[in-house]
Amino acid sequence: MQEILVVAAIALVLFFIPRFMRRKAEPAPQQDNPGIITTLTGWMRLAILVTIFWIAGLSVYLKPWENFSMLFPYIILGPVAVGWGAFWVWSGYKKYRR
Protein backbone atom coordinates (compact mmCIF):
# COMPACT_ATOMS: atom_id res chain seq x y z
CA MET A 1 0.00 0.00 0.00
CA GLN A 2 2.83 2.36 0.82
CA GLU A 3 4.41 1.85 -2.59
CA ILE A 4 1.18 2.85 -4.32
CA LEU A 5 1.01 6.06 -2.26
CA VAL A 6 4.65 6.87 -3.11
CA VAL A 7 3.99 6.33 -6.84
CA ALA A 8 0.85 8.48 -6.63
CA ALA A 9 2.77 11.22 -4.81
CA ILE A 10 5.55 11.17 -7.43
CA ALA A 11 2.95 11.34 -10.22
CA LEU A 12 1.26 14.31 -8.57
CA VAL A 13 4.58 16.08 -8.09
CA LEU A 14 5.54 15.49 -11.73
CA PHE A 15 2.15 16.79 -12.83
CA PHE A 16 1.86 19.89 -10.61
CA ILE A 17 5.47 21.16 -10.29
CA PRO A 18 5.69 22.36 -13.93
CA ARG A 19 2.46 24.29 -13.45
CA PHE A 20 3.80 26.05 -10.38
CA MET A 21 7.16 26.81 -11.99
CA ARG A 22 5.63 28.27 -15.16
CA ARG A 23 6.20 31.95 -15.72
CA LYS A 24 3.33 34.26 -15.00
CA ALA A 25 1.51 35.52 -18.04
CA GLU A 26 2.17 39.08 -19.09
CA PRO A 27 -0.72 41.44 -18.53
CA ALA A 28 -2.96 41.90 -21.54
CA PRO A 29 -2.49 45.16 -23.42
CA GLN A 30 -5.11 47.80 -22.76
CA GLN A 31 -7.77 48.23 -25.36
CA ASP A 32 -8.22 51.48 -27.22
CA ASN A 33 -11.98 51.31 -26.71
CA PRO A 34 -12.76 50.74 -23.02
CA GLY A 35 -16.09 49.31 -21.93
CA ILE A 36 -19.11 51.41 -21.07
CA ILE A 37 -18.60 50.93 -17.33
CA THR A 38 -15.27 52.76 -17.45
CA THR A 39 -16.53 55.52 -19.73
CA LEU A 40 -19.47 56.72 -17.65
CA THR A 41 -19.10 60.44 -17.07
CA GLY A 42 -20.37 62.26 -14.04
CA TRP A 43 -23.36 63.57 -15.99
CA MET A 44 -24.26 60.08 -17.16
CA ARG A 45 -24.11 58.74 -13.62
CA LEU A 46 -26.27 61.63 -12.43
CA ALA A 47 -28.82 60.90 -15.16
CA ILE A 48 -28.98 57.22 -14.17
CA LEU A 49 -29.43 58.15 -10.51
CA VAL A 50 -32.16 60.69 -11.30
CA THR A 51 -33.94 58.09 -13.44
CA ILE A 52 -33.89 55.55 -10.61
CA PHE A 53 -35.12 58.11 -8.07
CA TRP A 54 -37.85 59.34 -10.46
CA ILE A 55 -39.24 55.84 -11.01
CA ALA A 56 -38.95 54.80 -7.35
CA GLY A 57 -40.32 58.04 -5.93
CA LEU A 58 -43.35 58.28 -8.17
CA SER A 59 -44.03 54.57 -7.81
CA VAL A 60 -44.26 55.03 -4.04
CA TYR A 61 -46.41 58.15 -4.48
CA LEU A 62 -48.86 56.76 -7.08
CA LYS A 63 -48.89 53.15 -5.78
CA PRO A 64 -49.73 51.44 -9.08
CA TRP A 65 -49.95 48.04 -7.35
CA GLU A 66 -53.05 49.18 -5.40
CA ASN A 67 -55.10 50.87 -8.08
CA PHE A 68 -53.67 50.43 -11.53
CA SER A 69 -54.33 53.48 -13.60
CA MET A 70 -52.88 54.75 -16.83
CA LEU A 71 -51.04 57.48 -14.94
CA PHE A 72 -48.19 55.12 -14.17
CA PRO A 73 -46.98 54.63 -17.76
CA TYR A 74 -47.61 58.23 -18.74
CA ILE A 75 -46.20 60.06 -15.73
CA ILE A 76 -43.43 57.70 -14.65
CA LEU A 77 -42.22 55.79 -17.70
CA GLY A 78 -43.06 58.40 -20.36
CA PRO A 79 -40.52 61.07 -19.36
CA VAL A 80 -37.87 58.41 -18.75
CA ALA A 81 -38.38 56.90 -22.20
CA VAL A 82 -38.41 60.32 -23.89
CA GLY A 83 -35.31 61.49 -22.02
CA TRP A 84 -33.20 58.40 -22.65
CA GLY A 85 -34.47 58.18 -26.24
CA ALA A 86 -33.40 61.78 -26.88
CA PHE A 87 -30.01 61.06 -25.33
CA TRP A 88 -29.63 57.97 -27.53
CA VAL A 89 -30.38 59.97 -30.69
CA TRP A 90 -28.10 62.83 -29.63
CA SER A 91 -25.26 60.36 -28.93
CA GLY A 92 -25.71 58.88 -32.39
CA TYR A 93 -25.39 62.27 -34.06
CA LYS A 94 -22.44 63.15 -31.87
CA LYS A 95 -20.67 59.87 -32.70
CA TYR A 96 -20.99 60.22 -36.48
CA ARG A 97 -20.08 63.91 -36.50
CA ARG A 98 -16.43 63.08 -35.74
Percentage of the chain beyond pLDDT 70 is 74
Residue 40's pLDDT is 76
Q: Is the pLDDT of residue 2 over 80?
A: no
0.75 exceeded by the pTM? no
Residue 32's pLDDT is 57
| 84 CB neighbour count, 10 Å cutoff | 13
Which has the minimum average pLDDT: 24-28, 30-34, 87-91?
30-34
Instruction: Write the single-letter amino acid at 5.
Output: L
Range 46-74 average pLDDT: 83
Angle at 91 between CA 88 and CA 95, to 5 degrees: 140
Question: Model confidence at 4, in pLDDT bands (50, 70, 90)?
Answer: confident
